[in-house]
Structure 1
């Protein structure tokens, strides 16, 4: 680890599918073929029953935006299940992203991940399009079928039916964003003679499917605008190599073999010693490392075909502001965010 070699990335190239989101500021800040950008997962501190850990978080998100990170991610956990032991962001993701839209200017605002099998697609599309407009086109949506069984009966839904509801919700959501008065016949509802307002700034909102969301690899290749998968082991090269195989298998199912981005994440405990080796903690759930080991891992992800790495620091020992500053000054310049269309003016 002590002899980390930092390689200069090759020139960026965009793939055949990229023009679908050519006018989308958030997508283009995060994704270019062959390159890796960095994002930060919220919350910045672990919630253990005291809302005071959220105090000042928006100020730090403004600093994350100023430093030039590509994205900030909010988690979607409708109900706290003590058996999971993690309440996630606590705030509703759409409400909080609307608040952060007013506190930031360039950074992409991402959900990680919105539970499409629990909420109705009309409500999802209304919230998403509103945030996209309020932020000037910066919303990128990670979406999922849900992994907390306790939530489904609370919504009056069957956990066993989440795969079908997820696929139907994705289709319904996309139809709502198209045209002025779509006619939709779905198991989730029938629409005729009405339309969704507002529409997204660029006409589309990227949907990055999380895991398989209980869909086939062929479905993922045909329907996902991008793929978000959880990391394999990150303390050795074996994990990124396994991830490379997974990413390659997914991309083989993309019909035109054009570019679609892959995202992964890791919870890190960034040690103040830059030479601290990559060490798994909490059964591999957290990675302790110095910045040299982190840079090495990010390079391995990029070589594996990953286009964006989202880092969570809520379980780290050092103050969040220290970690953000070190990442911004020492790591981010090696994995810079991309130039692209500027967000529309936020003059609401």
Structure 2
């Protein structure tokens, strides 16, 4: 890989940034602070089962999520629905949907969980990302990944076995496009010279939070990611959070400058009305059934483990989403308040 940037040292051009680089970023600052955990909501609020009407009213609930003070709202990047995989995400294109949600919200961070950097060209990713960033006043935070659905790679004409190197190169390409100044890029993914990329993001960086390994060694994630998103391990007892703490500590020990980088995790919950209902795994541990006291305990264990943001999905829950969101806002958020951060940098478009 040969990637050069006019205004930066080549070996520093696409490294991860510490919290100091995001001091003016409304989305990042709303979600992340050292030794603190905030709460976000994963969309869709109900799973697609063959009828788009399952998403009716979700936009209004996202407006409520924003007003009730949740830190972030998450969308997934699922280009093709594989019935064998059994998950269609929120159906809409993530960036188009986030732009629509940006117009319906004021403060909540808008998060991709996760944008597949191997399937889309970095120019297209950057154009969509900086557009959402500008339209939302700087609220975009990007979880990014190398992809794990085998049916998608041949559809794009991409070799799945080589997605690791392609992911790393796409990250470098993306970062150089959106950086201040005119980019000069020589990459296996394309050549950029004598042109500029617009719009630039509102702040110097768009946070790129790497998901899982994304086919990279842990040292690469420590050096090149602005944060790390991993699965939580088991969540029905304290053994999972303890193992997660070890994983987070190992990663943070490898961060070259020793600066703060946030860690995120997620869980699909079936929040029941009984507040004392014990933490119980469902669907082979994929879903956690619990009352709010068990959830508060889990979030506290994650915070102690070094997790800075937890995204909760409720598409498998028995209760209506509006009820769960209301209970989370009233009973859970006071224990894990959203960071204040700077106000969105809005323009009168």
Distance 1:180 1:216 in 2: 30
Find out whether 1:303 has 2:304 as its counterpart: yes
Give the number of equivalent residue pairs: 333
Distance 1:283 1:166 in 2: 30
The match for 1:337 is 338
**Cα deviation digits, residues 285-313 of structure 1 (max 9, x gap):** 00000000000000000000000000000
Distance 1:144 1:171 in 2: 14
TM-score normalised to structure 1 length: 0.95
The match for 1:190 is 191
Distance 1:65 1:141 in 2: 18
Find out whether 1:224 has 2:225 as its counterpart: yes
Distance 1:34 1:180 in 2: 35
The match for 2:31 is 30
**Cα deviation digits, residues 176-199 of structure 1 (max 9, x gap):** 011332110011000001111111
Distance 1:18 1:224 in 2: 12
RMSD: 0.8
Distance 1:78 1:251 in 2: 32
Distance 1:260 1:273 in 2: 36
The match for 1:283 is 284
Q: SS of the residue aligned with 1:102?
A: helix
The match for 1:200 is 201
Check the 8 A contact 2:122/2:174 in 1, yes or no: yes
**Cα deviation digits, residues 37-71 of structure 1 (max 9, x gap):** 00000000011111001001000000000000000
Find out whether 1:110 has 2:111 as its counterpart: yes
CA apart distance, 1:17: 2.5
Check the 8 A contact 1:135/1:346 in 2, yes or no: no
CA apart distance, 1:346: 4.5
Give unmatched runs, 5+ long, in structure 1: 1-15
Check the 8 A contact 1:274/1:291 in 2, yes or no: yes
Q: SS of the residue aligned with 2:40?
A: strand
Distance 1:48 1:244 in 2: 36
The match for 2:325 is 324
Check the 8 A contact 2:183/2:195 in 1, yes or no: yes
Find out whether 1:85 has 2:86 as its counterpart: yes
The match for 1:142 is 143
Check the 8 A contact 2:180/2:200 in 1, yes or no: no
Q: SS of the residue aligned with 1:306?
A: coil
The match for 2:245 is 244
CA apart distance, 1:347: 2.3
Find out whether 1:52 has 2:57 as its counterpart: no
CA apart distance, 1:104: 0.2
Structure 1 runs, 4 residues or longer, greater than 3 Å off: none
**Cα deviation digits, residues 101-147 of structure 1 (max 9, x gap):** 00000000000000000000000000000000000000000000000
Check the 8 A contact 2:180/2:204 in 1, yes or no: no
The match for 1:41 is 42
CA apart distance, 1:258: 1.0
Q: Equivalences for 1:65-104 in 2 at 5 Å?
A: 65-104=66-105
Check the 8 A contact 2:94/2:112 in 1, yes or no: yes
Distance 1:123 1:155 in 2: 14
TM-score normalised to structure 2 length: 0.94
Q: Equivalences for 1:159-198 in 2 at 5 Å?
A: 159-198=160-199
Check the 8 A contact 2:135/2:346 in 1, yes or no: no
Give unmatched runs, 5+ long, in structure 2: 1-16
Distance 1:347 1:36 in 2: 33
